[in-house]
Structure 1
Amino acid sequence: MQQRLGFTRRTGRMALAIATFVVTLASCSIASGHSVPAASVHTSSAALDGTASAPADLTGVPDQLKSYYKQIVNWSDCGGGFQCASVKAPLDYDKPNGAVISLAVVRKPATDQANRIGSLLLNPGGPGGSGIEYARSSGVVSAAVAARFDLIGFDPRGVGQSAAVHCLSDSQMDTFLNVPPDPVGGAELAQEADQAKFFADQCAKHSATLLPHVGTVDAARDMDVLRGVLGDSKLYYLGKSYGTYLGAIYADEFPQRVGRLVLDGAIDPSLTSDQLNLTQATAFDAALRHFVQDCATQSGCPLGTDVNAGLTRLKTWVDGLDANPIPGDSTRRLGEALAMTGIAVAMYDQSWWPDLRAALTKGFAGDGSALLAMADIYNNRVGGHYQSNETEANFAVNCVDHPDEATSAAQVQQALPTYQKAAPFFGEMVDWSTLPCAYWPVTAGTTPHKVQAVGAAPILVVGTTRDPATPYAWAQGLATQLDSGHLLTMNGDGHTAYLRGSTCINSAVDVYLLRGVIPSAGTVCQQGQ
């Protein structure tokens, strides 16, 4: 059972994990003694802190929401040059005087305060990725951007240190993630359905109040509250992967509030879930073929020198792990599901390809430890404990955002031939990963539609031609449908483009953020240049 809807909307943060399999983001928590308070749902808006100095502009803000925009926020030092705070938002924007939730936020002030432009909100994707951990990681933006903007990391509702969705224990999550990704036979099919239903039931049991209100539209409204609280009249934003969807929805909800939005590794909001998943599965298979082609040119490639034969060998070996898992670590064996997850990790960034070659060499020799470690990085599992609730949040958001996710196991099975033909390696895994939404206790609140953001300032959409997680066609689609969208292209591999090996891309994004200048139409940058 893949933990999220395919590999869709996965964050751009994989590049931050280093080849020694130390999870950099896991080491970027709030400093000891200064942690953001655990989020909770409060019973009434009386929990607001009163009135701060008026934000730059409250024009158009409904009267019932103005107290949220004007709330006092108490920032405290939390190490590494960051300040931490908790911001209140209504649980239900249709009932702003009702229950209140907390949003965890960190801020790193601009290093050049004399020339400060404003606040730059950051989202790494997911959905479920922690904006706090992302902001506290190195290399998120250039030094030039960090000089002129306060960097703002926040955990969206449902995520991490904000009001968070919780579903499974660590042991239950281990079981959930180890279900065969391509079930065969009655027993495996029953296990697939049972685990999907159990996951949904446990989310309802532990997070019933929050689940109806974790969709992207509500998260976008939270961003506007943050904009107001931070005193900015316009929103400045860098969103990657799913973060592009969040940014696009914000622009559609608040077009007059758009300042400068960078949407890197874009998702096309007009596509159905099935279109998204099928396209993404195809893109992951294409990335895998490119990896095998590269491997064939390397000395000692475990897949040999014939690309088609190498792909066949890999598929046969992975399929065999279902019945015969191999040793992984001191307590676990490497089965088919986690092997495929570990392989998928390397598709996000070609810098991981040497690690995947080494992991497969060990795996073919009966040692699954390296590939298991790569899967653990993807799943944010350290020392037997899942360091975040990203898996739970991912399903919670996607099942609410997409009413066309799977409605039954029979529906998944009906689509299998299409997925198998388009993506022989990853297709079945992506198709079956939608099943928990069939049992989801909350009705989806939106439908796929074109996002136009009519009247918004120019928005920069960035796409990578061989991006497996957010295929390039999605960036083209989003840039076209946005009334003020402009497409910047990187010709290269891997997920997202900014600060991933192209000086041309980095310069274009920085110039846009710092000066508001859009690159020339049709600009294509080469990876490595």
Structure 2
Amino acid sequence: MPHLTTSPRHPRRVRRPAAILAATLVAAVLSSGTAGNPAAAAKAAEPDTAALAATLATQRLAWEPCGLPDVDAEDEAQLRLACATVTVPRDWHNPGDGKTIQVRISRTVASGSDRKGILLVNPGGPGGSGLSLAPYVARSAPALAEHYDVIGFDPRGVGQSTPLLCTVTYRDTDNTNDLITRANVAGCRSTDLTKYITTEQTTYDMDFIRVLLGEHKLNYLGYSYGTWLGTWYAATFGSRTDRMVLDSVAAVGSPTLQETWDLQPFTRDRAFQEQLLPYMARHDDLYGRGTDPMKIREMFERAGGTRVGMGPFMFGWFILGALYDTQNYPVAAAAVNTVIQYYEEWNGWTPEQILTAASAKLRTAPGVTADGRAYVEQARVSAEAALKTQRDRAQLVQAADEYTYDIDYVFEVIRCQDGQWNDSVAYWNAFSRRLTRDAPLVAPYLQNPPACAYWPTSNRMPTFDRKTFPKVLMLQDELDVATAYEGALAASKKLPGASMISVDNEGSHGVFPYYTPCVDDPVYAFLLDGRLPAQTYTGCQAVPLPGETAVFEVGGKLTGKGTVRTRLITDEMRAANRMLKRMLRTEPGPSYPE
């Protein structure tokens, strides 16, 4: 495989807090009454949150220590980190009813004399806690922390803000994924707070935070779903939006979030086949599986792949999460190797037994660093909590014909209520057949129809007004497994005045800071001086993967126009899918649908 550059590995990239990823992973591994929608109506005057909030606009914020577990006392003091609670109307479209909820915010204070304002940050999700993101940005991008107060927040319904828990009643006959999904949706839609946990309502909260901090305009850095949130804010509060960076971009030009999630199965199969397996093949000295990526895929599939045996558990809890960050590729490769090596020995083990044995194996696997071991521990704790929840619910089922359970369903609540998804069961059945054919690695994890198919809503993102929509800088990795490059590129053509930086041959979800001048310098130029790149599209090269000094060409290639020419379903993916199809037809096991 050709390599492009030889260069030292960049400084270790400090990744965003682990909680940012949790909602996405839970949804991959294992929603409210319809709110009114002024945003979808005829273009109205820009909302005045200070006037809408009435006496709440006079509240004084009480700053206090945050006590965040991933921020030590030295950093807290150096960044002058503090947290406060903001009281907001429960319903910004009816603030006069007097009902309120709370939103928890964090703040680092600009260290320099040339303060430029506030930089509000959001980690994504939907439903990601953002309190820790403010100190993360301040530590990893000190040039920004010098000039901005960096503001993080837990959106309404999340974390230390007023939480949303849906009370769901299950019957003992709810014994399929589809029936459980329907019960979850019914329980959530009957929970009173649910209808107010939407992106639209959160954008009003964001603007009210701006008001209480005494700022005329809001600057913004959003990751993943945070790009959807930021775009919605800019479309609603155009005159109040200054500089906006959208990192790992959802399909923000679409009327709903469905397109973003519809693309994910293919991007995950693509990253696995196009980048992870070639990485393993280049390191036969560590994994001993030969130098042919397709042969490694065949060994993985003969061990059950993601269909049977221990593979589904290992992929769901150790491999998929590692695909979100190429720094964790040694863990992902070791997990694939573990499935190949131990599938006969571990088949028949309980998930708890697999979890204990796998965690020990991965912590001591070749090439796994201290950061990798931390990732393994995080995955172990998350898996252990999920298994405990399953056990608890199983006991409730055995004890009664009907039982009630409180669930955290914010992830589904927000993405389902932000715009109407396809509600045709026939459509989702056809989509499932397509996944089985074109994305068979991830297809077993995806439940169709999704919750959003059962969730009617009239909400939709406001249209973009070219006269008021701000300039935007977009960042996107080519092989991002959560927000597809294809969706981001399409969005760049729909957002007025957008510029886009593409990182070829990079597979991480979340770009900035990347610690290369090509990627980071334009971000600093824009946020600090308001200067966008001269060209609409800028192409940058990735840095080497862990343990390597060269960058290898995978997926598509940079064009002279600064974009990446790539395919959602590549030739390598098609070859792997044909190989799996032949295997399942000729060997005992599950049949492979036409």
Partner of 2:36: none
1:125 has 2:101 as partner: no
Partner of 1:403: 420
1:354 has 2:330 as partner: yes
Letter in 2 for 1:127: P
Query: Is the contact between residue 261 and residue 460 of structure 1 (CA under 8 Å) also seen in structure 2?
Result: yes
Query: Is the contact between residue 104 and residue 154 of structure 2 (CA under 8 Å) also seen in structure 1?
Result: yes
Once the two structures are TM-superposed, the CA of residue 304 in structure 1 deviates from its matched residue by 3.9
Partner of 2:439: 423
Deviations 1:101-126 (A, max 9, x none): 100011111112x2111111110111
Deviations 1:35-86 (A, max 9, x none): xxxxxxxxxxxxxxxxxxxxxxx99557333444443222123351321111
TM-score after normalising by structure 1 = 0.75
Q: How does 1:32-111 map to 2 (within 5 A)?
A: 60-61=48-49, 63-78=51-66, 80=76, 81-98=80-97, 99-111=99-111
CA RMSD of aligned residues (A): 3.5
Of the candidates 429, 432, 454, which is equivalent to residue 413 of structure 1?
429
Partner of 2:181: 196
Partner of 1:523: 538
Of the candidates 454, 459, 473, which is equivalent to residue 486 of structure 2?
473
Question: How far apart, CA to CA, are the structure 2 residues paired with 1:120 and 1:304?
Answer: 48
The alignment partner of 1:493 has SS state of coil
Question: How far apart, CA to CA, are the structure 2 residues paired with 1:449 and 1:301?
Answer: 51
Q: How does 1:99-178 map to 2 (within 5 A)?
A: 99-112=99-112, 114-137=113-136, 141-167=140-166
Shift in alpha-carbon separation, 1:153–1:471, aligned structure 2, 3 A: same
Once the two structures are TM-superposed, the CA of residue 151 in structure 1 deviates from its matched residue by 1.2
The alignment partner of 2:235 has SS state of helix
Query: Is the contact between residue 240 and residue 266 of structure 1 (CA under 8 Å) also seen in structure 2?
Result: yes
Partner of 1:265: 248
TM-score after normalising by structure 2 = 0.67
Once the two structures are TM-superposed, the CA of residue 381 in structure 1 deviates from its matched residue by 2.4
The alignment partner of 2:478 has SS state of strand
Query: Is the contact between residue 70 and residue 228 of structure 1 (CA under 8 Å) also seen in structure 2?
Result: no
1:248 has 2:231 as partner: yes
Question: How far apart, CA to CA, are the structure 1 residues paired with 2:459 and 2:124?
Answer: 19
Which region of structure 1 is more displaced relative to structure 2, 366-375 or 339-348?
366-375
Matched pairs, number: 447
Of the candidates 312, 317, 340, which is equivalent to residue 316 of structure 2?
340
Question: How far apart, CA to CA, are the structure 2 residues paired with 1:238 and 1:392?
Answer: 25
Query: Is the contact between residue 14 and residue 378 of structure 1 (CA under 8 Å) also seen in structure 2?
Result: no
Question: How far apart, CA to CA, are the structure 2 residues paired with 1:375 and 1:201?
Answer: 35
Which region of structure 1 is more displaced relative to structure 2, 367-376 or 92-101?
367-376
Deviations 1:405-458 (A, max 9, x none): 5554x543232122223322124534x265233445xx3242477645542332
* Structure of greater Rg: 2
Letter in 1 for 2:177: E
Which region of structure 1 is more displaced relative to structure 2, 415-424 or 145-154?
415-424
Q: How does 1:385-400 map to 2 (within 5 A)?
A: 392-400=409-417
Question: How far apart, CA to CA, are the structure 2 residues paired with 1:119 and 1:498?
Answer: 18
Once the two structures are TM-superposed, the CA of residue 211 in structure 1 deviates from its matched residue by 0.8
The alignment partner of 2:160 has SS state of coil
Of the candidates 435, 438, 446, which is equivalent to residue 459 of structure 2?
446
Shift in alpha-carbon separation, 1:308–1:449, aligned structure 2, 3 A: farther
Partner of 2:196: 213
State the identity as a percent.
Answer: 26
Partner of 1:384: 385
Partner of 1:285: 269
